[in-house]
Structure 1
Amino acid sequence: MISNSQTLIARLYGSGYTQGINSQPGLMDQYFNLGSKILYDTRVIIDGSNLYHFLYYHYKVAVQYGGDYDHYARKCKRFFNTLTACNVRPYVVFDGGYDPDDRKLPTVLERMENRRTRAANICIKGRGCILPLLAYETFHLVLKELGIPHVSCVYEADREIAVLANKWKCPVMSNDSDFFVFGMDGGFVPLDYMNLTLCVFNQETEVASVLEPGQKLGKNEYCYIPVKYYNYEMFTKHFKKSDTSFILPLFATLTGNDYINASVLANFYASIHVPKNPSKKGFKFNTQTHMLAVLYWLDSVESWEYAIQHVVGHIKSDEKELVRGMVLTSFHSYMNIDDFSDVEIDIILEAQNVKTGNEIENKDVPKLTDFFKQEIPSWFVKKLRNCEITGFFLQNVVVNHRVIFNCQIEILRELSTYACSRDFRSVIYGVTMNSKRKENEAFKDSRKNSIEEYDRDIKNTKKYYVRPQTSVINDAIVQSLPSISQVPDLDQSERKNILFGALGFNMSTIDVENDSSLTLLGILSYWIGHAQPQVTESHLWSVILSVFVLHIRALQWLEDKRGFGLQPVVPEMLSDVVKAIESASDKEIDNFMKHMEKNRSKPDHSSKNPQEMRVIHGFSQFQACLVDVIYLNQVLLSPVVIPSPGVILNCTFVYNLCRDLETRPKPDFYSEEILTKESPLHRLFLLWKDSVINLCQSASPDSFDYSNRGTSVRTKKKSKSGKAKKGKRDRVVEDAGSNSDSTDKDAETRDELTVNCDVNNRFAMLGLDE
């Protein structure tokens, strides 16, 4: 440890910086005795399922309108670029699907209800944060763009991460409190306790300083970031016994977790107590006395075998063996971290290393069985582990025949936004259930012949059984759906036709040759045709113009980076849009972006200018359609390229623009003004808009809601009919969201972490003094 660097760390963290997971100052320092450390020149294992949540909250990306994915993508890149500057080599590990034993189902459903409550809070008060629907896909594509190795475990990743960290002798980054329990030699860095300020250490002068903008490193200098660091030995050294390895695993088990409910151990808790005059004054608890009692009791036992025998002795006779099994399973899951249990994730991560150029082979992929206990094709499992197929949705579909949907920002008295694409998902289910579909047609709706969807029904949770489709129609041709074992045998055009057929439109009628653009237009058409309540043409215009704006900004960002002599990674974009932008004059681009600038700011809401949930609900339905098309594309081995949500959707922008367009009696004139009539962008806009409208009207002449055209929100508020007041429940008077664009520059210079991450810190009550 470097003394000068320690001084700088203390200054950077300062009083009040380390807020702790439960917003109590210095919580982790108090309870787990965190030490200061500098992070540089090392591998690091990152809990990916935790990180992509954390980054959205940490950077305060706006969520009140559904998610600003361009801003989120930039911040994810900034985070990893900061690590790279310190020669910290990240390896990201994700959770997989839910375990088929349903052990976590009650917990997941409880979280679903909690999220729905938080979503309602945002809708009513404008305060709070929930992770937007497309955040994972955005984050995953950032990892691909930057070439960062990443892998998905079969089920929960915590234990596999601990095994890998011990194997590589490197630290783990996460906010999951379970990592305080695992005996990891490389230690644990809580994400809440990273300061992302780049610092410089001079090895000759031994002086540490903050890296200034534009500063170049000298010959004997290196970059680092200050962090708070924990190693289990920091805790166990307070116990006066030779073998302390079992204390934390037993403590975590006996205070309740997913394996065993604390209520089962009520009689055991009654048999132990906290000493009146405890000698171990390092332990401090304000609540949860039984946890403190367990801690003192563990300091008195000599072995884990005796401890478990004592616990089981206080269980009812008919439950003894069941409880013993649960306690042992939990205990060993924390203790035994020498070998991977499901898949050698180090092999997959090393194979992704661009320097080696290796590819994971099927022999390295573990076997996985579906709901009917039949082996899933190795290509599918391989892509699950490589994160080329989204495991928390598609693995749950194949293995559990169950998916659980988290509420978006939406109108809670309307149908769930996921209902918009339920028919489309039945095509996904048709492919994934194909091999057993016919045998189970006789069953009434159940997981034997349907996928069980847990979704919102007004303000309650409801189970829906969705039957799989057997075929799709494309260009008047009926095409039977393949099983997942048959998908690799289809050529790209056949797989693409299934995707377009699932969208329900004859895509050959559209004068667009690029498959990615065709897919986007198909998604827009499907969304408009299935939205309930209906969306407006202003919704359509806003998404198209959002694509244009985000592509322009992405190209400008690339140009700026190249201007500094850098070689930035080019994100996947729609070639039609890129071509139109490059063909337009600088004056036309400047004119367009100048008109769009006002829509990038956070809306100024008040009682006279309330937030319109109707507008947001429509865009949330679009997100549901987009993510389901992404899933089907993955199942079909990606016959089309779907760009990142970061170059498609900024929900603050589309919300502002949609409301603006709805006040204009002649929006066509406005489009000519902002895009410059007959410019390349204007021609592309008309082509896309007219194509989508024609597709929608061919399916239904009443696809759009025209009731709001040319009517301002304020005018509706004053109308005598009272209709505007009727929707008061769905409007937000106050708004606590942050503007993703206007705060960019501030965030660039102010990268200290604030504690906003929703983490389940079960061991926060445990206190130690030096």
Structure 2
Amino acid sequence: DHVLKYLKKHQRGEVKALLCTSVEDYTPSDVNLEDFFQNGKYESEAARKSDLPQWVLDALVKGKLAPFISDALVLRSTFLHVQVENMQRPSAHSTALPIRQIIYGLLLKVSQNTETASSSKQSNELPVVCEFDRLQKTLKKTFVQAASPPTDFYDDHFSLDKLMEVPESCRQTLLLDTLGVNMSFLESIPSHLQLPVAVTCYWIRCSEPKVTLHQLKALLLMMVSGELHRITGDPDPTVSRAEDDSIAYNEFLKWKEKKPQNKDFDLDAAHSFCQWQCCLQMGFYLNQLLCSPLPEPELTRLYSGTLVQRLYQELKSTPSVENLFSLSPKMTQLYQVLLNTVES
């Protein structure tokens, strides 16, 4: 009744009936939440019946695996969220499809032998995951076949329940092979940026339409801005901060405060950046599933849609924006290393 008084009188009867029905239908969870919050233990009847490996259950409870993983593993279906993208083009998620197929293959244990033995059977007998995506502005349901990791990686010993036992170098190789990158290309990149850079290489190779140079530079400059923010904003007193880094960051903040020269919104560029986000999301999930053979990046400092759009627009009209961090030799060098790596 205390809730209903905030509603209009003609709405109260219907809402009260819905609330009463919900209360009657509510079944208390069998999970001991007190034990979970105090000791980090999570046990439920549903988890016991799921027949999932213990390390997967533990990782899901601790948030080390995304709900996307449990949806694919348990429900055999996933929902791909729509972003601010060009609805006349294929979904931005289509670019990351090969990454998702490898994820599905690991989860559903697809081996080369299984595919060979099933080649004479109908394709719908192979493990599939139902994906909900968009077709223009309409919800689209697609059955996606899981892909098989390479034979030298995947055998009976490397099943999902023993995935953590696979040597890290092997897990790292699978991750980078999926993204089409060799570890030798990433050695000059700071470790926490190696995954985003590998994803960027994949994005350049697989996106349609192709990534433009201005889009690429805008994305890399945004990464550099995040790295500069990390260095200058680190509260750890033991972290050394060069004075020129602080000066460069202050100049960057002044630039951000200025009114943009071009306020136009480029939908095709936004669509391309959405594709990059989809690739990063699935690359991030695959890295998590493989028990993080590459360090996880700080996502909050890695991307800003507003910033990358502004950088893109100003790079087209004012190429000197590329020198935005020139007052910091360290950031200038980082930008050149990033650019040289993804262009090689």
TM-score normalised by the shorter chain: which range applies? 0.7 to 0.9
Give yes or no for contact 2:32–2:43 (8 Å, CA) kept in 1.
no
> In the superposition, relative to structure 1, how do residues 290 and 649 fare at CA in structure 2: closer, same or farther (>3 Å)?
closer
Matches within 5 A, 1:179-578: 285-287=9-11, 333-334=25-26, 336-337=27-28, 340-341=29-30, 343-352=31-40, 360=41, 366-369=47-50, 375-391=51-67, 393-434=68-109, 438=115, 442-445=121-124, 449-472=127-150, 479-480=153-154, 482-512=158-188, 514-559=190-235
Question: How far does the alpha carbon of each residue in 1:616-654 deviate from its partner, in whole angstroms, 9 at most, with x for none?
Answer: 112111111111111111111122221221121122111
1:286 CA displacement: 1.4
Structure 2 unaligned blocks of 5 or more? none
Instruction: State the SS of the aligned residue for 2:251.
Output: helix
CA distance in structure 1 between the partners assigned to 2:327 and 2:11 by the alignment: 68
**1:657 to 2:335 alignment:** no
**Offset at 1:351?**
2.0
Structure 1 counterpart of 2:341, one-letter code: S
**Match for residue 613 of structure 1 among 267, 279, 288:** 267
Instruction: Kindly provide the amino acid, as one letter, of the partner of residue 494 in structure 1.
Output: C
SS at match of 2:9: coil
Instruction: Give a deviation string over 1:399-434, Cα, whole Å, max 9, x none.
Output: 111111121011110111111111111110110011
Deviation of 1:677 after TM superposition, in Å, equals: 8.1
Counterpart position of 2:251: 594
Q: Cα distance 1:413–1:602, how it changes in 2: closer, same or farther (>3 A)?
A: farther
Q: How far off is 1:556 after superposition?
A: 3.4
Structure 2 Cα separation of the partners of residues 284 and 588 of structure 1: 57
- TM-score of the two chains, using structure 2 as the length reference: 0.83
Aligned partner of 2:338 in structure 1 is 688
Aligned partners of 2:53 and 2:160 also within 8 Å: yes
Q: How many Å separate the matches in 2 of 1:514 and 1:592?
A: 19
- 1:31 and 2:4 correspond: yes
Is the contact made by 2:89 and 2:136 (CA closer than 8 Å) also made in structure 1?
yes
AA at the equivalent of 2:37? L
Number of equivalences: 337
The match for 1:261 is none
1:207-253 CA-to-partner distances (Å, cap 9, x unmatched) read: xxxxxxxxxxxxxxxxxxxxxxxxxxxxxxxxxxxxxxxxxxxxxxx
Q: Secondary structure at the match of 1:406?
A: coil
Pair 601,613 (structure 1): closer, same or farther in 2 beyond 3 Å:
farther
Q: Secondary structure at the match of 2:130?
A: strand
Distance 2:187 2:328 in 1: 18
- Return the offset for 1:367: 1.6
**Deviates most, 652-661 or 485-494:** 485-494
Whose helix fraction is larger, Structure 1's or Structure 2's? Answer: 2
Tell me the secondary structure at the aligned position of residue 285 of structure 2. Answer: helix
TM-score by length of 1: 0.40
Quote the Cα distance in structure 2 between the aligned partners of 1:365 and 1:417.
34
Tell me which amino acid in the other structure corresponds to 2:338: W
Change beyond 3 A, Cα 1:415–1:32: same
Instruction: State the distance in 1 between where 2:334 and 2:35 align.
Output: 46
Q: 2:276 maps to which residue?
A: 622
Asked if structure 2 preserves the Cα contact closer than 8 Å seen for 1:500 and 1:507, the reply is yes
Indicate the structure (1 or 2) with the bigger Cα radius of gyration.
Answer: 1
Q: Find the residue that maps to 1:634 and give its secondary structure.
A: helix
CA contact (8 A) 2:211 2:272 kept: yes
Identity of aligned residues (%): 19
Matched with 1:318 is none
Q: Does 1:647 align with 2:301?
A: yes
Separation in structure 2 between the aligned mates of residue 387 and residue 409 of structure 1, nearest angstrom: 26
TM superposition shift of 1:385: 1.5
Separation in 2, partners of 1:591, 1:366? 51
Encode CA deviations 1:682-731: one digit per residue, 9 max, x unaligned: 2221111111011xxxxxxxxxxxxxxxxxxxxxxxxxxxxxxxxxxxxx
Does the alignment pair 1:675 with 2:325?
A: yes
Q: Distance in 1 between the 2:118 and 2:189 partners?
A: 41
* Aligned residue type for 1:598: W
For the 8 Å contact 1:426–1:468, the answer to whether it is kept is: yes
Contact preservation (8 Å) 1:450, 1:465: yes
